[in-house]
Amino acid sequence: MMRSLFSAVSGLKTHQTKMDVIGNNVANVNTVAFKSSATTFSEIMYQTVSNASGANAATGKGGVNARQIGLGVTSGSTKITIASSGAAETTGDGFDIRLTDKVTTNFFIVNTGSQNLFTRAGSFYVDGAGNLAMTSTGYTVMGWQVDPTTGDIKKDTVSALRIMQEKNLTSPAEATTKGTVAGIMDKNDTGVTSDEGHMMNLNFFDKMGYRYVARLAVKVVDPDAERYTVELKDILDSNNVSILDEYLNGGNGAALSKVFGENGTETKSFKGSDNHISFYPDGTPDGKPAGYYYAYDTFTMDDPPQELTEYAAVTLDPENNSYSVEPFTYFASAQDALDRNSSTGDPDLKPLTELFGMTQEQLNAFGSATNPKLVYNDVTGEYEYTKPTVNYTLKFSEENGTFSYVGGAGSDSVMLNMSQLGSNFEDIEIDFSTCTAASNGGKTTMGADPGINNGSEGAGRALGKMIGISINNNGRIFGSYDNGNTELLGQIAVAQFANASGLEKVGENCYTTTLNSGDFDGIGVEIAADGSSMISGELEMSNVDLSTEFTQMIITQRGFQSNSRVITTSDTLLEELINLKR
């Protein structure tokens, strides 16, 4: 009799425990990423009244089963349905993240300040210190940092993701290193045929993010052969001040050919007589000072017969393709000529540095006594000399107008040597390969832009300020800046366990490891390793199924009611037993 009472009491207690679990499930029906629990019952033990016996051939009796009376029920286990994901709730908040599981259940890693915990609740925000943290508890979200050497994620021990730290608030400036000229060249464009040429502005940045513009001009040379020149007209800063003029007027060997067009030479010709002209940078053989152009005429004196050389100063005018020479003086006697040739220096001779506005080093490149660059051409009857070019030849196919070369055969690009103007610049390679020549109604559409391909490679950038943060499906966190840059700031790591159901709930939507769940190695894994992902702008809802909970509630209620009936009936039997005494 007493056994039935105590069995019924254990039934009441166990059903009350189950009802407690159901009540907790229902209470958390709207808790973010809550995982419902289910209770299973287990028998306690049995009292054996008689043991089982086997069959006896001698007596002819069969075997007898043991007689046992159960002593009640207990809660066998409370299992968390942790592998069952809740439905998705769209929030539109970029810091709300839902975990999707492909093979293994994943967990965010959060830190309380003293230990790592694990959660499925991805409702995060950026706290006052710039850390990514849980909105409910303030626990910091853990992940991997960016390796400053490689710029990629360094997957070592997880640490707090401080995504809004000072160094992440700005994106460094970048100097422009590449440019593109594209569009249509129409030889009938009046701008191309004018003295000014067709103007193009190339905007670019220096290493500190200051903006400049290089003004390029395209002029026609031979329209029938589709041949043009590209010249550098000016380089202006953001205040429209010419830094090119400052460079050219600053001395120290400054020359336009060092900035643009230093890839080759061009030949200049001068009309004149057949008197030979040569340049002696180290001085003439008979002692004339260095740094001058001299014209000389070799002639023979009959009294006595001998060869004499007379010098005179030469003034060159490259822009007008002309030169002038002081007339030669022929003397009455050889002695007079010898006396003149033996003189040292001439105050009327002008140094080439003055005539050209170049340095002596640059002028020396024009030639020497043993290798003269200024010579008389017997075929053309002209005097010729070579000089560094300050423009580039731009050539298109005469047949179909496709790009042929710029600067020289086989070349697709030219260099704007900005490093000559200061260490805050990078040289800019300007690609012309996408240009074409065609009839376009007399309009040339060629224009210059920084960068190549998608417009970002080598384009350079100003200093950028952070304007947004985004998190991709792999948990990588990116900062967006107003200069167009996107910087990698870190990556959210996840934890996986051999037995996720073995984790222990510690409240506040968090779990901790147990002996039966498996340990956390302190490093974590990348969520995409098994095909899982993170969805930004969504949260995981509770996986509580109310229909199931209400059904279990009815079953639990009836079970509790039935056990209470057992107690009532047992009490009635006891009452009848007591009444036997009367």
- pTM confidence score: 0.65
Percent of the chain with pLDDT over 70: 77
Q: What number of other Cβ atoms are within 10 A of residue 468's Cβ?
A: 11
Q: What number of other Cβ atoms are within 10 A of residue 422's Cβ?
A: 11
C-alpha Rg value of the chain to the nearest Å: 47
CA distances from 445 to 101, 235, 442 (A): 54, 21, 10
pLDDT digits (tens, 9 = 90+) for 451-483: 886 667 899 999 999 999 999 999 999 999 998
Q: What does the pLDDT read at residue 372?
A: 46
Above 60 in pLDDT, residue 280? no
The domains of the chain are located at 2-54+62-83+544-579, 88-172+464-540, 178-264+389-450, 268-388
Cβ-contact 99, 527 below 8 angstroms = yes
pLDDT digits (tens, 9 = 90+) for 527-567: 999 999 999 999 999 999 999 999 999 999 999 999 888 88
392 vs 388, residue with greater confidence:
392
Q: Which of 339-348, 404-413, 531-540 has the lowest mean pLDDT?
A: 339-348
Helix H or strand E encompassing 67: strand 67-70
Q: Which of 108-112, 207-211, 267-271 has the lowest mean pLDDT?
A: 267-271
| Residue 388 CA to its chain's centroid (Å) | 39
Percent of the chain with pLDDT over 90: 55
Q: What number of other Cβ atoms are within 10 A of residue 172's Cβ?
A: 15
299 vs 419, residue with greater confidence:
419
Q: Cis link prior to 285 (omega < 30° from 0)?
A: no
Above 80 in pLDDT, residue 310? no
CA distance 94 to 88: 15
510 vs 355, residue with greater confidence:
510
At residue 6 the predicted structure's pLDDT band, cuts being 50, 70 and 90, is: confident
Q: What does the pLDDT read at residue 305?
A: 41
CA distance 247 to 253: 10
Q: What does the pLDDT read at residue 143?
A: 97
Above 60 in pLDDT, residue 354? no
Cβ-contact 438, 210 below 8 angstroms = no
CA distance 192 to 87: 66
What's the number of CA atoms in the CB half-sphere (13 Å) around residue 499? 12
Q: What does the pLDDT read at residue 573?
A: 86
Average pLDDT, the chain: 81
Above 80 in pLDDT, residue 388? no
Above 90 in pLDDT, residue 360? no
CA distance 392 to 539: 60
CA distance 277 to 25: 105
pLDDT digits (tens, 9 = 90+) for 107-143: 999 999 999 999 999 999 999 999 999 999 999 999 9
Q: What does the pLDDT read at residue 70?
A: 75
Q: What does the pLDDT read at residue 517?
A: 93
pLDDT digits (tens, 9 = 90+) for 164-183: 999 899 999 999 999 999 99
Amino acid identity of residue 230, one-letter, is V
Instruction: Give the total residue count for the chain.
Output: 582
CA distance 573 to 577: 6
Nearest to 242 by CA among 256, 252, 227, 257: 256
CA distance 425 to 417: 9
